[in-house]
Structure 1
């Protein structure tokens, strides 16, 4: 039989059995771990084991409160713990020490045969050096003394999560070679056997063969065989536990507990047996060696100190302090305390008291600070202390980043959800809060119209980009932003190929993040944040996501405002309709009804007069209905535009309004082409021409000319009195009894829907007349 695998045997399993049931010298049986596989999702499932009344449940509840993503279960015995881990789905075990029959150390040894890597934290009220050393020797991941301070559970949760994440990142496959290597330093004798093979760790070889016995000694095999013959095998799903007197190789009798468990070893069912010597035999020499192994291989920094002087340090400590072991040993550890840090006093208090747990900063050799958590345990024989120091810098930084993100998201949600505030106040606050979150001096919302970019709202440093700024789209960063569905980010424009780009030459932005804004399925513009200086770090996924979500929110808000405005206008048109039906249509209708009665009671002359009045009333009603239907159906929205030759539209409109009159129309040769909705433009011009004929008479002279901002229509009629010019575009306003009062209202609305303005003044004709000018239309040829 071999005491344990050499290092090279861990990943090179071999097997075989000699005649007579004995292992051939130099042969070790390797297998694979089959239970307790650690999951790889973000949740951490922790099994809490303790027999104390309510202790396991309390530890489980406290851990879940300290880390909401930690799922905990509680059992009250090691036997239940073994069964639960074997069932699978457990990422870590937190166990007490003092438990009847199978204590925390024996529990750990039983686990390590099948789960050599499963994180195991001994969380006990006993702080003696013996249990701590035994736990580390048996393969415990960590040890934490249980105290009355609720804050200890935050530390416990961080240590458990850290151990699980280290295991997940290492992804080392379990094997019996790994299990045997862990069991090799266990303080108790451990035997694994089946019908063909026998394995014993170092403590078992010494127990059965005596000091200096060889692993393949026949005496060891005989003693093991005798032991096994007298023990009832464990059931497939349980643990057998007996207490009996035993005799070691030297003839010494001692009380012992013998615990067996059925496991899978190299693909075959076998029994694991742990023999615990209860006589308190001297294990100083083996304990020292096991302590040294645990000391060296601990992932936490372990430092032995006398006062403030370092006497020894493990490899993790040298990495933490940035010094080699010879440099660190003999140094005064208080020299690593930052002189300007507020934690200096707590650090020195901890160094003096050597108790409890502290969170503090240290300075590494060569610069840089690290945030650590430290605890200490005494070495009774020497009076020295072992400091256990865990580097939590990355965890603290991540925690701070998450708090930073949460605070920003909370503020942004509060602003966006404010139903009392209007869009502009909200977007100004959102731009300000988001640029503070991103660490960028300016944020802005743009509108893109064709090949032009216009800054609608800007927040921050005006010398970068300000409200009202405009530029060709070809010279804007946004020309690239609108190409992508996801936000565009630039950490350092000078090294990302922007030098020489028109946008970089014009604005000189060193860092930028922007996303396009879509309204009603169409591009509106962009939401962007920028700075002249490059950014120290790349934009995080959270930052990109936030900018993208804000751009979507802006699009939704603009679309909602658009729909709200449309509803408002529709309601206004309904009001106009109600007014027309109740008043404007009622007047000619009442007149017609009155003259019908007059005609029925009079002679033939009265009938002719009545028919004339009724015909006029009906014509007025027809005009009112036509105008109302236009307002109700068309509204003021513009669905599509095109390039329209003004002269063509004027001739078409004249054929409808002036063809059957003696009026004269003069059209300038260079009226030009504008971008407009053709049908709406025709309606506008028809109404202006009809207005000229109705007020100037059937022989009025009308002229259409080009202006810098569009065109003008003038006549030589009576004109519009100066005091009435501000009112003529109001609904229902007319200077003629037969007028509907809606013709010029429609003109004003069509102009407004195009983004134009319409004004009235006196014409240059000798008789005065009126001149209506459309301004704000863009001539294509200009």
Structure 2
């Protein structure tokens, strides 16, 4: 060998040593575990990352058989070994390897052969990329998916009742969170009631109850989100009543809300502290359960109330009296919907006011006397005239409140069509839920329908009574004058005396008036259509001209009022009253019309014989008369027309002892 060749060889060896040193340094600083094993499987290289990952130092493993392959994975290791010896490279194969403390970790394995200058494989080098966290996350995702799928299947099972669903969900949650106790609670006053419980804690069994102040749930109820406790003793709970009573060390629960009001809590707990805080996935799982329980309880509550309201509707259809319907409705509404105060006002068409007819709940305690409402003085009247449901969280903040000193705060005002108004109220200013509003709407519709039906039936009964009266008139009252006319006609024919024809004519006149009165009632001509403000004196004078007044006289006071009337109907009222005065007071009777003293309205009186006190009510009824020539319908028509105007009629004594009819046009 020449000196030149020896120098070249030394330079090449130096370069190789330098490259090996660099490789060794690179392997040492590589963040992934790198190991090299010889053909016997013994370790010849073990970098720092391998020491940190597996727990063995390089001194402990170099020269020893590869220690990281689990016993049940030796076959897989041998297969990989043979593949590399045959010249194959392995890239990112998923494997599991064991640490010094026995833990099993997941890796991507990449393996390549190490060859000598002759191309022969002398060692095998392996790089391990730790994917344990990735695999843990994947397992957690699968676990979460399975848990959520299970919850969905339970919630969607139509064959399960609520208590069966919640029992299974509590059990699923215990398994998922690896906690021994689970429960759904309800707050009733100052007590925590366990609605459903799972696990072995004796105080958290179904049906158990404890003071609310001694429960973890009181703190849960104060929060908008979940309450999570990893280690109660270290988080300030050790000296509290809940900790002393229940001995709970870890806890995760949320507030169950039904109809926007707190119902209780849904919680999971354990008597040992957790090593790690609850994960976001675990918190989301419990949050979902709380939301489901809130929804399901709200739905169940809504369905139960609908069923009760359906029963109420059925009960209302059986009742005939509107006032009885109103009382049944308010009592049931207060009980079913749980409102403190409920009342119904009926619209009085005659006086145009809302009159209280029923109250339920604690209305007597909250309101001394239910007020009457009339135009422009209350929120109730505004709601009624607008025919719109109105909801107020605090009526004291509203303009137009009827009583500024009222104890009422929250209020729902629901019109009952033209029938009146339903009001439900609370002494607290907490808002009404959408469910509350929807249920009140349903109730008000049912009440309106029932009262409208009752009024229609009453109208029908009155019409039937009129038909009976008409039948009586046709069968009796008309038959009498016809018989009289036939008798006098026969006498006139036999005797030739024409004076008997006057009797026939008189009978025919009576028949004509009976027919006119009957048609007035049958055609609904006692109703009011076109109302306008008119001078009463003009109508009185015109009506007097339509009547055969003979020697009778009429006087009208100077202060006779202007009145909002249907002119044609009121003209008929005066005609009937004037005829009545002449028929009972004589052809020279004196009639006067004037303004009422003390009340808004007018009077019509005469100086005839008057009406006995015990007959003053009945003279206004159909078919009642004390005159042989009367029809018995004149004064009843007067009453019907007055009623249609919203007036009341009083029968009393006149100044000169005759009959006096007073019309009160407003209260």
Which residue number in structure 2 is paired with residue 732 of structure 1? 623
Residue in 1 aligned with 2:135?
A: 290
Q: Relative to 1, partners in 2 of residues 1:614 and 1:643: Cα closer, same or farther, differing over 3 Å?
A: same
Deviation at 1:668, TM superposition (A): 0.8
Q: What SS does the aligned partner of 2:619 have? A: coil
Per-residue CA distance 1:462-507 (angstroms, 9 max, x = gap) = 354466512454342235535867632222456xx53x65446253
Aligned pairs for 1:582-593 (under 5 A) are 582-593=475-486
Per the alignment, do residues 298 and 321 of structure 1 end up closer, same or farther by CA in structure 2, a change over 3 Å counting? farther
Q: 1:695 aligns with which of 584, 590, 596?
A: 584
Q: Which residue in 1 is equivalent to 2:390? A: 488
Question: Which residue pairs with 1:231 in the alignment?
Answer: none
1:511-550 aligned within 5 A: 511-519=410-418, 524-535=419-430, 538-550=431-443
Equivalent position of 1:705 in the other structure? 594
Q: Match for residue 643 of structure 1?
A: 533
Q: Does 1:470 align with 2:372?
A: yes
Inter-partner Cα distance in structure 1 for 2:228 and 2:295: 22
The CA distance in 2 between the partners of 1:693 and 1:458, in whole Å, is: 49
Query: Is this contact kept in 1: 2:547–2:578, CA < 8 A?
Result: yes
Deviation at 1:442, TM superposition (A): 1.1
8 Å contact kept, 2:232–2:238 = no
What's 2:301 paired with? Answer: 404
Equivalences for 1:163-202 in 2 at 5 Å?
A: none
| 1:510 matches 2:401 | no
Work out the CA distance in 2 between the residues paired with 1:501 and 1:516: 17
**Alpha carbons 1:415, 1:426 under 8 Å: kept:** no
Shift of 1:669: 0.9
1:627 match: secondary structure: helix
The equivalent residue for 2:327 is 428
Corresponding residue number in structure 1 for 2:290: 393
Question: 3-state DSSP class of the match of 2:625?
Answer: coil
Distance in 2 between residues matched to 1:674 and 1:725, nearest whole Å:
25
Task: Name the counterpart of 1:457.
Answer: 358
Q: Report how far residue 627 of structure 1 moved.
A: 1.5
1:559: which partner in 2? 452
After superposition, the Cα gap between the structure-2 partners of 1:201 and 1:421, relative to the gap in structure 1 and judged at 3 Å, is farther
If the length of structure 1 is used for normalisation, what is the TM-score? 0.50
Give, in angstroms, the shift of residue 690 of structure 1: 0.8
More helix by share: 2
Cα distance in 1 for partners of 2:482, 2:459 equals: 32
Distance in 1 separating the partners of 2:235 and 2:404 = 56
When Rg is computed on C-alpha atoms for both structures, the one with the higher figure is: 2
Aligned to 2:469: 576
Q: Does the C-alpha gap of structure 1 residues 479 and 697 become closer, same or farther in structure 2, counting only changes over 3 Å?
A: closer
User: Is the CA contact (8 Å cut-off) linking 1:517 and 1:527 kept in structure 2?
Assistant: yes
Indicate how the Cα distance of structure 1 residues 634 and 455 shifts in structure 2: closer, same or farther if over 3 A, else same.
same
> 3-state SS of the aligned residue for 1:322?
strand
**Unmatched tracts of structure 2, length 5 or more:** 1-90, 98-105, 114-123, 125-129, 148-172, 182-198, 200-224, 256-262, 272-281
Deviation at 1:532, TM superposition (A): 3.0
Is the contact made by 2:602 and 2:664 (CA closer than 8 Å) also made in structure 1? no
Contact 1:509 1:531 in 2 (8 A): yes
Conserved? CA contact 1:361–1:369, under 8 Å: no
Partners of 2:267 and 2:416 lie apart in 1 by 45
Give the 3-state SS of the residue equivalent to 1:417 in structure 2: helix
TM superposition shift of 1:289: 7.1
Q: 1:213 to 1:448 in 2, by over 3 A?
A: same
Structure 2 residue 662 is matched with structure 1 residue 764:
no
Q: Deviations over 1:733-769 (max 9, x none)?
A: 333322222222322333344444434444333xx4x
Kept in 1: contact 2:347–2:353 (CA 8 A)? yes
- Corresponding residue of 2:94: 203
Q: SS state of the match for residue 634, structure 1?
A: coil
Are the aligned partners of 1:338 and 1:363 in contact in 2 as well (CA < 8 Å)? no
Q: Does 1:322 align with 2:228?
A: yes
1:305, 1:670 → 2: CA distance? 91
Cα distance in 2 for partners of 1:426, 1:679 equals 37
- Retained in 2: the 8 A contact 1:458–1:467? no
Q: Would you say the 8 A contact 1:443–1:528 is kept in 2?
A: yes
Which residue of 441, 461, 470 maps to 2:340? Answer: 441
Mapped partners of 2:591, 2:234: distance in 1: 107
RMSD between aligned residues: 4.7
Aligned counterparts of 1:204 and 1:394: Cα–Cα separation in 2:
41
Superposed, 1:99-498 pairs within 5 Å as 203=94, 213-214=109-110, 290-291=135-136, 294-295=139-140, 322-323=228-229, 327=231, 370-372=265-267, 391=286, 392-418=289-315, 419-422=317-320, 423-447=322-346, 453-459=354-360, 460-462=362-364, 464-465=366-367, 468-482=370-384, 487-493=389-395, 497-498=397-398
Question: In the aligned structure 1, how far is the partner of 2:570 from the partner of 2:664?
Answer: 14
SS in 2 for 1:774: strand
Using the size of structure 2 for normalisation, the TM-score is 0.58
Change (3 A) 1:516 1:715: closer
Structure 1 residue 664, shift from structure 2 partner: 1.3
Query: How far has the Cα of 1:405 moved from its partner?
Result: 2.2
Shift of 1:688: 1.2
Equivalent position SS for 1:739: coil
Using the alignment, how far apart are the partners of 2:641 and 2:372 within structure 1? 27
When residues 578 and 674 of structure 1 are mapped into structure 2, their CA distance, relative to the original with a 3 A threshold, is same
User: For the residues of structure 2 that align with 1:431 and 1:201, how far apart are their CA atoms?
Assistant: 76
CA distance in 1, matches of 2:180, 2:584: 111
Q: Which residue of 2 aligns with 1:110?
A: none
C-alpha distance in structure 2 between counterparts of 1:331 and 1:589, whole Å: 106
Instruction: State the alpha-carbon separation in 1 of the partners of residues 613 and 96 from structure 2.
Output: 119
Task: Report what 1:147 is aligned to.
Answer: none
Is the partner of 1:682 in helix, strand or coil?
helix
Alignment of 1:718 with 2:609, yes or no, is: yes
Match of 2:568 in 1: 679
- Corresponding residue for residue 633 of structure 2: 742
Q: Show CA shifts across 1:218-271 (max 9, x none).
A: 9xxxxxxxxxxxxxxxxxxxxxxxxxxxxxxx9xxxxxxxxxxxxxxxxxxxxx
Q: Distance in 1 between matches of 2:459 and 2:345?
A: 23
8 Å Cα contact 1:667/1:705 also seen in 2: yes
Instruction: Pick closer, same or farther for the CA change 1:527–1:334 going to 2, 3 Å.
Output: same
Change in CA separation of 1:699 and 1:480 when aligned onto 2, cut-off 3 Å: closer
C-alpha offsets along residues 27-72 of structure 1, whole Å, 9 cap, x if unaligned? xxxxxxxxxxxxxxxxxxxxxxxxxxxxxxxxxxxxxxxxxxxxxx
